[in-house]
């Protein structure tokens, strides 16, 4: 009991509370800017941690981590431009809500879901870290492939009713993901002699080009003057926090649990968690009318991906703290900062320095509470973006995209790339092709190919490994079920209708 009292006293120190809020503010700002990501937010703050103690340093960096993941949803909702890759699924329903004048409701729902997911993953970190970590380590290459294959099945739920066009754009995404040096054989593929393409095409360039610049081109073509449709005024948030949580508690728990699980598996990420959660939410629709509402401004379509992608914040720390293995690139940067302060993540950390571990866990919980307070305070200011005339907003988006594309790798070539993908996004939109399947293909393509080939090498080229491993077989079964369930449900409904008539 004395240990927890000491932890609480440490966390409420004015300097630590200040560092949490500074980290959050920087994280939200960086996350909301297209092209910037959590790694950049943490890297910007890293030099300031040298003068801090280890607890102050980790609280500052965790604030930036949580804030940047949530911040990506702000521009995804307001201007159809995800600030981070994990916010791409949020655009599907978030931006239509903004166009209907309900930007405040969308932002409030995203904030509530983000905080819920963050707190849920923090609880998992506190109580189940060793168990989850040991289970995540059981993942084999075949299991990773089957998980990614299940992720690719999400094309069905984000294709807007046209599965054929969704598969085509997903195929384009898979082709884009194959550009660059083959990680297995070291052979350059589809680079056309361009050295800048050897490392592949950054997801951020595709994202900003196809969604942000493509959206700019579309609005210029339509000669739109405002984000909000004519005749609609911006409405203040009408959703209430407690009723919102109570009405969507099952959704929040399911999505947060999925995000925590995905986050604890090294090498996956928030994009996969967000899209999988959105797919499950769409599939759980009870009626065809409810299912058809997704993609047109459904609050639950915002909450599902946001709770899932924010649930990875605590989950990615699990393998780092328990095994010394960073869950993703962001946590790898955080781990490097810990080494500077003499903290060595791993199994011995819980026995040698339990006070520090408890401060981290408690700090993550407090950070999510502060994130709710900051977000609630600034929602109206964020939503005012919808009032800006397009003559101001569109050039600003183009400028942010150009700066963001260059900042990612500091290649002028990347600016050309976003222009190309902007034109591609515009053409696909004009032809009524959905863009989300392309991003799914890009995000999962490389991971899917690498683990498929690795599993075949391990098993001497035999496909049996995908059906003999229990985890792989489970994900394959879920994959087939998710594809067939809508058809089975439709068949049973038609059969019931014929019997009644």
Residue 13 gets which letter from DSSP?
A: S
Helix (H, G, I), strand (E, B) or coil at 204: helix
- Contacts (Cβ under 8 Å, ≥6 apart) of 263: 121, 270, 273, 311, 312, 313, 314, 315, 316, 318, 327, 328
* The pairing of beta strand 180-181 with beta strand 188-189: antiparallel
Residue 36 gets which letter from DSSP?
A: -
- Contacts (Cβ under 8 Å, ≥6 apart) of 335: 320, 324, 326, 345
Q: Cα angle at 492 between 488 and 495, to 5 degrees?
A: 140
Can you give the pLDDT at residue 366? 92
Residues 297, 283: Cα–Cα separation, whole Å: 16
Residues 343, 287: Cα–Cα separation, whole Å: 53
Cβ-based burial of 30 (10 A; exposed 0-12, middle 13-18, buried ≥19)? buried
Task: Go through 46-82 and write b for each residue having 16 or more CB atoms within 10 A of its CB, e for each that does not.
Answer: bebbeebebbbbbbbbbbbbbbbbbbbbbbbbbbbbb
Q: Report residue 272 CA to chain centroid gap.
A: 7
Q: What is the mean pLDDT of each run of 10 residues along the chain (501 residues)?
A: 74 89 89 74 81 87 89 85 78 87 87 92 83 72 84 70 81 89 82 84 81 82 63 64 89 91 75 83 80 85 91 83 71 78 74 81 91 86 71 80 77 88 90 83 83 88 87 85 71 65 52
On whether the CB atoms of residues 436 and 158 are closer than 8 A, the answer is yes
Can you give the pLDDT at residue 201? 86
Residue 210 gets which letter from DSSP?
A: I
Tokens representing 309 are 């992608």
Element (H, E) at 48: none
Residue 286 main-chain phi, psi, to 5 deg: -80, -30
Tokens representing 28 are 């939200």
Residues 319, 217: Cα–Cα separation, whole Å: 43
* Whole-number Cα distances in Å, 153 to 13, 140, 260, 479: 48, 20, 20, 7
SS3 string, 124-182, reads HHHHHHHHHHHHHCCCCHHHHHHHHHHHHHHHHCCCCCCHHHHHHHHHHHHHHHCCEEC
* Whole-number Cα distances in Å, 35 to 94, 180, 297, 419: 19, 20, 25, 14
* Whole-number Cα distances in Å, 231 to 99, 224, 227, 228, 234: 11, 13, 12, 8, 10
Q: Would you tell me the crossing angle of helices 390-409 and 214-222 to the nearest 10 degrees?
A: 160
Can you give the pLDDT at residue 29? 85
Can you give the pLDDT at residue 109? 92
Residue 101 gets which letter from DSSP?
A: T
Q: How many CB atoms lie within 10 A of CB 296?
A: 14
């Amino acid at each position: 009991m004395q240990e927890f009292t000491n932890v609480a006293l440490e966390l409420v120190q004015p300097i630590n509370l200040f560092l949490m809020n500074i980290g959050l503010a920087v994280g939200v700002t960086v996350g909301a800017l297209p092209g910037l990501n959590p790694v950049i937010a943490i890297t910007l703050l890293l030099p300031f941690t040298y003068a801090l103690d280890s607890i102050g340093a980790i609280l500052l960096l965790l604030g930036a981590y949580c804030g940047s993941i949530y911040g990506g949803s702000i521009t995804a909702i307001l201007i159809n431009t995800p600030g981070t890759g994990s916010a791409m699924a949020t655009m599907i329903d978030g931006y239509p809500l903004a166009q209907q004048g309900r930007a405040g409701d969308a932002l409030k729902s995203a904030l509530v879901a983000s905080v819920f997911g963050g707190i849920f993953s923090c609880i998992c970190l506190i109580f189940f870290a060793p168990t989850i970590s040991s289970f995540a380590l059981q993942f084999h290459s075949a299991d990773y492939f089957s998980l990614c294959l299940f992720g690719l099945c999400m094309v069905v739920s984000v294709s807007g009713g046209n599965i054929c066009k969704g598969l085509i754009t997903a195929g384009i995404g898979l082709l884009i993901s194959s550009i660059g040096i083959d990680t297995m054989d070291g052979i350059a593929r589809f680079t056309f002699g361009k050295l800048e393409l050897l490392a592949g095409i950054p997801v951020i360039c595709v994202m900003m080009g196809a969604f942000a610049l493509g959206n700019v081109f579309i609005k210029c073509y339509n000669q739109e003057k405002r984000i909000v449709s004519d005749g609609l005024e911006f409405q203040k948030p009408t959703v209430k926090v407690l009723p919102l949580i109570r009405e969507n508690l099952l959704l929040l728990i399911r999505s947060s649990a999925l995000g925590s699980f995905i986050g604890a598996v090294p090498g996956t990420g928030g994009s996969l968690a967000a899209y999988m959660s959105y797919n499950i939410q769409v599939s759980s629709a009870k009626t065809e009318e409810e299912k058809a509402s997704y993609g047109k401004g459904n609050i639950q379509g915002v909450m599902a991906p946001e709770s899932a992608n924010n649930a990875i914040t605590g989950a990615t720390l699990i393998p780092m703290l328990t095994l010394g293995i960073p869950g993703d690139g962001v946590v790898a940067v955080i781990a490097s900062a810990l080494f500077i302060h003499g903290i060595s993540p791993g199994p011995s950390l819980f026995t040698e320095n339990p006070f520090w571990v408890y401060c981290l866990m408690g700090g993550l919980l407090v950070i999510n509470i502060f994130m709710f307070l900051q977000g609630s305070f600034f929602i109206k200011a964020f939503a005012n973006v919808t009032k800006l005339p397009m003559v101001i907003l569109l050039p600003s988006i183009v400028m942010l995209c150009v700066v963001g594309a260059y900042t990612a790798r500091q290649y002028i070539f990347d600016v050309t790339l976003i222009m190309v993908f902007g034109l591609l996004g515009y053409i696909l939109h004009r032809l009524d092709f959905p863009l989300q399947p392309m991003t799914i293909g890009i995000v999962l393509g490389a991971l899917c190919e690498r683990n498929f080939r690795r599993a075949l090498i391990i098993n001497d080229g035999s496909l049996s490994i995908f059906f003999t491993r229990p985890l792989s077989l489970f994900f394959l079964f879920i994959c087939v079920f998710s594809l067939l369930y809508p058809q089975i449900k439709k068949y049973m409904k038609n059969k019931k209708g014929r019997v009644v008539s």
